[in-house]
Amino acid sequence: MIVTILNFSNTEIIGYIGSVLVLSSFLMKDIKKLRVGSIIGSGTFIVYGVLLNNSIPIILTNACIVCINGYYLVKENKA
């Protein structure tokens, strides 16, 4: 069952949410908040990629972004 808001499918809504989350993370002045926001947005994009019949480019790119941001978050917390 597809729920529509302004004629958007669930998949499109998740994609737009991911876009807003990633874009809003760039408004953060604190690098840790930026990285956390980016991880959440990229995680949302991974879900979006899965919903698009497992779109490997979307999933792979965003999984890499999550890993990179996670690595630097851990590294920054140890310093």
Domain parsing of the chain, residue ranges: 10-78
Opening angle at CA 29, ends 59 and 57, nearest 5: 10
CA distance 56 to 52: 9
Alpha helices in 1-79 (DSSP H): 10-25, 31-51, 56-78
Q: What is the pTM of this model?
A: 0.84
What is the reported pLDDT for 4? Answer: 56
What is the reported pLDDT for 73? Answer: 95
What is the reported pLDDT for 1? Answer: 46
CA distance 27 to 7: 29
pLDDT in tens, 2-53: 555 578 888 999 999 999 999 998 899 999 999 999 999 999 999 999 999 9
